[in-house]
Amino acid sequence: MKGVKKENLPSKQCPVCNRPFTWRKKWERDWEYVKYCSNKCKKQKTIII
C-alpha cells in the first residue's frame, strides 16, 4: 500500500456497529481476515450475533 492516498485506501463495514473503517498499516498482512473496526466491537460480537 505504499504511495496510496488515504482517500483511496480499501474500506470495510463493521458488522456490529455498521460503521465503515479503512485499511491500517497494522492490518497489512491480515486485511482479508479483519472483520471488526475495534476491540470493543470484537468483544460485543457475541452479544449481538
Q: How far apart are CA 45 and CA 49, in angstroms?
A: 6
Q: Is residue 40 domain-resident?
A: yes
Helix, strand or coil, per DSSP, at residue 25: helix
Total number of domains constituting the chain: 1
Helices (H) and strands (E) in the chain, counts: 1, 2
Residue 47: band (very low, low, confident or very high) from pLDDT cuts 50, 70, 90: low
Q: Is the pLDDT of residue 13 over 90?
A: yes
pLDDT over 90, % of the chain = 67
* Domain assignment of residue 23, given as a range: 11-48
- Is residue 3 one of the residues assigned to a domain? no
Q: Is residue 4 part of a domain?
A: no
Lowest mean pLDDT among 26-30, 36-40, 41-45: 41-45
Any domain includes 5: no
Residue 48 reports pLDDT greater than 60:
no
